[in-house]
Amino acid sequence: MSTISQPMTKGERTRARILVAAERVFAELGFHDASIVKITEAAGVGQGTFYLYFASKIEVFDEVVEDLNRRVRHAMIEASSQAGTRIEAERAGFRAFFEFTAEHPALYRIVRQAEFVSPGALRLHYTRIVEGYRDGLAKAQAAGEVGDIDPEVAAWALMGIGEIVGMRWVLWGPDVAPGGPTSAVPPEVFDQAMTFIERALAPGRTEEEGRS
Amino acid sequence: MSTISQPMTKGERTRARILVAAERVFAELGFHDASIVKITEAAGVGQGTFYLYFASKIEVFDEVVEDLNRRVRHAMIEASSQAGTRIEAERAGFRAFFEFTAEHPALYRIVRQAEFVSPGALRLHYTRIVEGYRDGLAKAQAAGEVGDIDPEVAAWALMGIGEIVGMRWVLWGPDVAPGGPTSAVPPEVFDQAMTFIERALAPGRTEEEGRS
Amino acid sequence: MSTISQPMTKGERTRARILVAAERVFAELGFHDASIVKITEAAGVGQGTFYLYFASKIEVFDEVVEDLNRRVRHAMIEASSQAGTRIEAERAGFRAFFEFTAEHPALYRIVRQAEFVSPGALRLHYTRIVEGYRDGLAKAQAAGEVGDIDPEVAAWALMGIGEIVGMRWVLWGPDVAPGGPTSAVPPEVFDQAMTFIERALAPGRTEEEGRS
Amino acid sequence: MSTISQPMTKGERTRARILVAAERVFAELGFHDASIVKITEAAGVGQGTFYLYFASKIEVFDEVVEDLNRRVRHAMIEASSQAGTRIEAERAGFRAFFEFTAEHPALYRIVRQAEFVSPGALRLHYTRIVEGYRDGLAKAQAAGEVGDIDPEVAAWALMGIGEIVGMRWVLWGPDVAPGGPTSAVPPEVFDQAMTFIERALAPGRTEEEGRS
DNA sequence: AATGAATGAGAGTTCATTCAT
DNA sequence: TATGAATGAACTCTCATTCAT
């Protein structure tokens, strides 16, 4: 995920192990049912050790959210940067988002807890992703590839679509109960969702469309 | 909100008071920090009284979610049913949704907790609202008022847009910290969001668009 | 069990129903898990009604113990009074005791709770039964049918044998877990227990026996 | 009491203190009125500490019963093993039983609660003691020192006699109210009880006695 | 005579956090 | 650096009892 060049000290390794365990336990049990004992047991360290690296339970939570946010954005940028056209980039970004969700259902399960656990963390998480969309849209708009629409609002709309489609088809699966196995968004759903987005963003004929 | 004409019995009134208090406390503190003591104090009844009407904390939670769901759908249907055209109906429905959100921020704050609290409740909540969108879209599509798109996917997309725009502009307000005062979606944001949606759903030019 | 001659008033009937229900519920659940609600539900009356007839939960308990005590003594006296010889009377009395236990396992389960629930009730219960044994033994001793032994001590010994054999073979059954079905003491066990008692009480040759 | 030679760790000492306190509190108040708070206060530890060593209130109870059982059997075996003749051994065993009872009234008060608290614990307790009696009787019988009687039934009879005499004269004392001070069984009562038992078990004259 | 809604003290249990080792 | 025993406040839930109807 990152380009580890320097060797980790012993302490850093312990810290990293706790962080990984915390993500796993938070994802499985949610914030409140994830006790420090469970996290430290999963990490294979003592309870006291936890407090050598994190000031509180909330602090790990924040860091886990931060971490997930960094990783999902990285995945999206990585994917879309290799695309040729704007539309291809958009599809690649969404596909990366859904894939990340499928591989890390923690993204949802953890992030959606944030509202009450760590005020502001949720907003920060969404805002950062939205900024990526917005900047891309603004640039594309300047190039005439996107219709006349406020990039900020459009970006949030994309965020909402990604979030809900990810929840509906990745997290819940085709017919699966919540918590069950997750898989990627079915191709036809992905296509339909992208069609929806493309039409919303397509340039031209703005005047007529507004009237319909 | 409801059309109950018969007078409530004493027990029903107590139950209703607890339910109202629970919604308030859940919205303010979240599921886990909303203790039974806080709920019963807010309702002005004894702790034991709570258990005369609800079997557990989770049970009230489910009922609060159920209740909010019923009310927001009612508000949306009410609003859109008085509109003339499909587009007007759509705008009215969304406006009602945002207004409800502004008046009952509990909708977000409570519902988003549901994932870990009451598995299935969250899915049920979204699914019910989406069914309304989907049926409306399918009907409009049959009348040629909506482009060629899977109503199911489009309905979930609308749900996502409503949710995230509501969260961003209603719950968080223009520049306000989470938990702060809420107001309606600013008119220009509302217009932009509706433009986004209208373009996505507009009929015509399906063949070319589909190729992208 | 008793010779009801006068018709009961409505109140008396209600009271009796509560008492019967209480015995059943106490026997099944024990004193502490037998709630007033469960008793009143079993009796088919309201909770408040209970307190019209009994001052407290402990009071019904005492009365239930009292009632059981009266009935078991009645059964034993009834049975032994129809016997010809002393030994036959003894066997008949024990048999009645075991039969009562088998039909009313409540006797054990309730009485053994008494120690902490209602101090003195347990002692009173045992003492009353023992008095019956003791008087019988004293009388038989005067007639030369019982050896030279303190009737008080011997009576308590009989009580202990009856209690433990009843628990072992009636309450627990041949191989059954506690709480399971109960039946009478197996004939061979009954015979052995009676043999044990007969030898202990048999008159004559006191001097030699003591030396063995 | 035990032959542990290795020093206890800190944790073991805490555990032992809780166990001792639990025995005391259970004996004084009974299972239900013995709250965790009372036990931990008596032990001088925090409430949470209790759950580091015992999974539940019932678990300590079981262990206390187990512990008492082990100790009383140890005392009885110890005492009777030093006796010369069978009869002396019997007397020594019973005497040890009564002495233990006098010093640890908890034996009764706790064990008799077991029926509803921990099904099976009561049966196990009695069964273990009875097994000791039974094996002793069987051996003596083989040596011709005990009459022709089923050792199992006879052993349970002894158990019953010990239990009830202990309760009557040790727990309740000569004229004392339950819960009051306890002392040993008066010598004349002890002698009479032993006489009762000796006659019941004495060999010889089996044929005539059996006819009764 | 009868009800059952209401109460609140108290139960068992959990867990984030501290700190002596 | 690492530990895990210890803590106590806070939690959800129960139930004997009261009292207005």
Residue from B94, B161, B165 whose CB has the most chain A CBs within 10 Å, to mutate = B161
**Which residues in chain B are contacts of A167 at CB distance < 8 A?**
126
Which whole number is the average pLDDT over D123-148?
A: 93
A157·B115 Cβ contact <8 A = no
pLDDT of C211 reads 43
Give residue-wise pLDDT tens across range B96-128. Answer: 998 998 888 888 888 888 878 887 888 999 999
C119·D179 Cβ contact <8 A = yes
Nearest to C104 by CA among C68, C53, C156: C68
B1-5, C200-204, D56-60, range with greatest mean pLDDT: D56-60
A121 token code pair: 């963390």
- The answer to whether strand F lies under 7 Å from the CB of residue B33 is yes
Helix (H, G, I), strand (E, B) or coil at C176: coil
Model confidence at D208, pLDDT cuts 50, 70, 90, reads very low
Nearest nucleotide (C1') to alpha carbon of D38 = E11
Q: With a cut of 50, say whether residue C196 has pLDDT above it.
A: yes
Report the largest interatomic distance among the alpha carbons of chain B, rounded to a whole angstrom. Answer: 66
A114 and B109 in contact (C-beta within 8 Å)? no
The runs of H, that is alpha helices, within chain C are 10-33, 36-43, 47-53, 57-81, 86-103, 106-111, 114-117, 121-142, 151-165, 187-201, 206-211
Nearest nucleotide (C1') to alpha carbon of C14 = E1
Contacts from A123-128 at CB under 8 Å and sequence distance 24+? A123/B172, A123/B178, A124/A69, A125/A65, A125/A68, A125/A69, A126/A159, A126/B164, A126/B167, A126/B168, A128/A69, A128/A73
Of all residues in chain B, the percent with pLDDT exceeding 90 is: 66
3+ Cβ–Cβ pairs closer than 8 Å linking D and C: yes
Buried b (16+ CB within 10 A) or exposed e, B85-123: ebbebbbbbbbbbbbbbbebbbbbbbbbbbbbbbeebbb
Nearest nucleotide (C1') to alpha carbon of D57 = E12
- The answer to whether strand E lies under 7 Å from the CB of residue D35 is yes
Half-sphere exposure of residue C194, counting CA atoms within 13 Å on the CB side? 23
Q: With a cut of 50, say whether residue C212 has pLDDT above it.
A: no
pLDDT of A174 reads 67
pLDDT of C126 reads 95
**Which residues in chain A are contacts of B164 at CB distance < 8 A?**
126, 156-157, 159-160, 163
C123·D195 Cβ contact <8 A = no
Residues 6+ apart with CB under 8 A from B97: B72, B75, B76, B162, B166
Residues of chain A short of pLDDT 70, as ranges, are 1-5, 174-182, 205-212
B160·A162 Cβ contact <8 A = yes
What domains lie within chain D, and their CATH numbers?
9-55 (1.10.10.60), 56-203 (1.10.357.10)
A109 and A178 in contact (C-beta within 8 Å)? no
pLDDT of B182 reads 60
Nearest to B68 by CA among B23, B116, B12: B23
pLDDT of D210 reads 42
| Residue C73: CB atoms within 10 Å | 19
- The answer to whether strand F lies under 7 Å from the CB of residue D46 is yes
D120·C178 Cβ contact <8 A = yes
Q: Using the structure block, give the residue that is written with the tokens 């006296």.
A: C77
Q: With a cut of 80, say whether residue C182 has pLDDT above it.
A: no
What's this model's pTM, rounded to 2 decimal places?
0.85
Which residues numbered 52-111 in chain D sit less than 7 A from strand F, measured from CB?
A: 52-53
The closest CB to that of B157, out of A116, A178, A193, belongs to A193
**Which residues in chain C are contacts of D201 at CB distance < 8 A?**
199
Q: Using the structure block, give the residue that is written with the tokens 């019982």.
A: C146
Give residue-wise pLDDT tens across range C40-95. Answer: 999 999 999 999 999 999 999 999 999 999 999 999 999 999 888 888 999 999 99
| Residue C85: CB atoms within 10 Å | 11
- The answer to whether strand E lies under 7 Å from the CB of residue C182 is no
Give residue-wise pLDDT tens across range B28-70. Answer: 999 999 999 999 999 999 999 999 999 999 999 999 999 999 9
Which residues numbered 45-84 in chain D sit less than 7 A from strand E, measured from CB?
A: 47-48, 50-51, 56-58
The CA-to-CA distance between both ends of chain A, in Å, stands at 47
Residues 6+ apart with CB under 8 A from C168: D126, D156
Weakest-pLDDT range from A101-110, C169-178, D56-65, D129-138: C169-178
Q: Report residue B88 CA to chain centroid gap.
A: 20
Which residues numbered 13-42 in chain B sit less than 7 A from strand E, measured from CB?
A: 14
Q: At what angle do helices B36-43 and B10-33 cross, to 10 degrees?
A: 140
C186 and D187 in contact (C-beta within 8 Å)? no
Q: DSSP secondary-structure letter at A24?
A: H
A119·B179 Cβ contact <8 A = yes
Please give the backbone phi and psi of residue D24, each rounded to the nearest 5 degrees, phi first: -60, -50
Q: With a cut of 50, say whether residue C206 has pLDDT above it.
A: no
User: In terms of CA atoms, which chain D residue is nearest residue C175?
Assistant: D123
D116·C109 Cβ contact <8 A = yes
pLDDT of B210 reads 42
pLDDT of A182 reads 60
pLDDT of B180 reads 52
Nearest nucleotide (C1') to alpha carbon of D55 = E13
Cα(B208)–Cα(B206) distance, integer angstroms: 6
A contact chains, 3+ CB pairs < 8 A: B
C contact chains, 3+ CB pairs < 8 A: D
Q: Nearest residue to F12 (CA, C1')?
A: B36
B54 token code pair: 């609800």
Residues 6+ apart with CB under 8 A from B205: A205
pLDDT of C111 reads 86
Give residue-wise pLDDT tens across range C91-140. Answer: 999 999 989 988 887 778 888 888 888 878 899 999 999 999 999 999 99
Which whole number is the average pLDDT over C18-39?
A: 94
Please give the backbone phi and psi of residue B82, each rounded to the nearest 5 degrees, phi first: -90, 0
Q: With a cut of 80, say whether residue C35 has pLDDT above it.
A: yes
- Rounded distance in angstroms from the CA atom of residue A42 to the C1' atom of nucleotide F1: 19
